[in-house]
Amino acid sequence: MLSSLLSFILLAISYQATTSSALPSHRPLSSKPAAFFLAGDSTTATQSSGGGGWGDGFINTTLHNGATGKNFGHNGATTVSFRAGGDWSWVLGNASASLPSYNPYVTIQFGHNDQKPAANISIAEFTANLVQFVKDVRNVPATPILVTSLSRRNYENTTDGPRIVENLADVTAAAINAAQQAGCTYINLNQASENYLNEIGPDDAYTYNLNPTDYTHLNDEGSIVFGNLVAVLMNQNVTGVGEYVSPEEEIAEAISEGVYYFPEGCEGEFC
Ligand SMILES: *[C@@H]1O[C@H](CO)[C@@H](O)[C@H](O)[C@H]1NC(C)=O
Ligand SMILES: *[C@@H]1O[C@H](CO)[C@@H](O)[C@H](O)[C@H]1NC(C)=O
Ligand SMILES: *[C@@H]1O[C@H](CO)[C@@H](O)[C@H](O)[C@H]1NC(C)=O
Ligand SMILES: *[C@@H]1O[C@H](CO)[C@@H](O)[C@H](O)[C@H]1NC(C)=O
Ligand SMILES: *[C@@H]1O[C@H](CO)[C@@H](O)[C@H](O)[C@H]1NC(C)=O
């Protein structure tokens, strides 16, 4: 009787030792890994002949500890077409379906197409559409992250040398305004990407072009660099993602020093 009690206690102790050493001690047992659902236009989307943004580079190279991601970026999308065409309900549906196993986040980045005159979307309407996206995400319930528009790589010559043309200032200000109205976390990708592009200059910046004359969309290497920039910014502003999102050290260092970086060969674990 005594010996069986003793062996039970020993078994219980060794079981506890095994489970506690198998789990990182800083993670509460109840926490689920993060899942990122990326809503946006072609500057978020998967690389294709018609577009390519930061989304796949972010998903392929910065997620850890069981975190996952899915890119819903749609070439040519505005805040109006993304909802009307059904993409938005897919984003919400996928975020909702992930709930049993994940803690879902939805990134929201629009503006490149909304600002085009042909879209006929006023800044007030754009802002209201973003605020509504935030509300919809919270209803899932998931965590919304507003993202200001990735900078285009068009430069103008100034007395200080070549500088990025700030042609996304209107939609950037509107996205920040929407974040403030909705009390939503945002990352200022427009500012951070512009700063980096000003540091490295046009010749290096153009190596991220999807094709030599496309100064808007990113090739795979550009996706990795700017996807890692998004990870850097998320670590600064989004609480709770630190364990799941971490930029590659070399890229984060190059970005913080304003030094050009071009991923050589294959960087992502999925390539
Ligand atoms: C998830 O998104 C895909 C498109 O990528 C869509 O076909 C599917 O219906 C979505 N799932 C849900 C539950 O909404
Ligand atoms: C632009 O949108 C406004 C407001 O929705 C509408 O009244 C107007 O007819 C639209 N113009 C064009 C050219 O579609
Ligand atoms: C800026 O100046 C450089 C060097 O003189 C020139 O090659 C380039 O085309 C100019 N860029 C613009 C946008 O004017
Ligand atoms: C984080 O959010 C604050 C506003 O709350 C903003 O001023 C700042 O630019 C954001 N930082 C990054 C890295 O995007
Ligand atoms: C991301 O991974 C997919 C799947 O392996 C690959 O086809 C794609 O080229 C990668 N893209 C980037 C930008 O890393």
Q: Which ligand is nearest to the CA of 140?
A: 1
Q: What DSSP character marks residue 201? A: -
pLDDT of residue 265: 66
Digit-coded pLDDT (tens) for 188-214: 999 999 999 999 999 999 999 999 999
Token pair of 84 as six digits: 């009307």
Ligand 3 near 4 CB (within 6 A): no
Between these two residues, 11 and 89, which has the higher pLDDT value?
Answer: 89
pLDDT of residue 28: 54
Query: For residues 219 and 179, is the Cβ–Cβ distance under 8 A?
Result: no
Q: Which ligand 4 atom is nearest residue 188's CA? A: 14
- d(CA 57, CA 199) in angstroms, rounded, equals 21
CA of residue 74 to ligand 4 center, whole Å: 26
CATH superfamily of 31-257: SGNH hydrolase (3.40.50.1110)
The residue whose CA is least distant from atom 4 of ligand 4 is 186
Ligand 5 near 268 CB (within 6 A): yes
Burial class for 15, CB neighbours closer than 10 Å (0-12, 13-18, 19+): exposed
Mean pLDDT, the chain, integer: 91
Digit-coded pLDDT (tens) for 65-115: 999 999 999 999 999 999 999 999 999 999 999 999 999 999 999 999 999
Ligand 5 near 56 CB (within 6 A): yes
Residue the block writes with tokens 């580079």: 57
Q: Backbone phi, then psi, for 152, in 5-degree steps? A: -75, 165
Per the document, the length of the chain is 271
Report field, pTM of the whole predicted structure over 0.85: yes
Question: Which residues of the chain form beta strands (DSSP E)?
Answer: 34-40, 68-71, 103-109, 143-147, 155-158, 161-164, 186-187
Ligand 1 near 97 CB (within 6 A): yes
H/E element holding 89? helix 87-98
Burial class for 80, CB neighbours closer than 10 Å (0-12, 13-18, 19+): middle
Digit-coded pLDDT (tens) for 138-149: 999 999 999 999
pLDDT of residue 31: 85
Half-sphere exposure of 129 (CA within 13 A, CB side): 22
Q: Which ligand 5 atom is nearest residue 61's CA? A: 14
Digit-coded pLDDT (tens) for 14-53: 444 444 444 444 555 448 999 999 999 999 999 999 999 9
Q: Which ligand 1 atom is nearest residue 89's CA? A: 14
Query: For residues 185 and 238, is the Cβ–Cβ distance under 8 A?
Result: yes
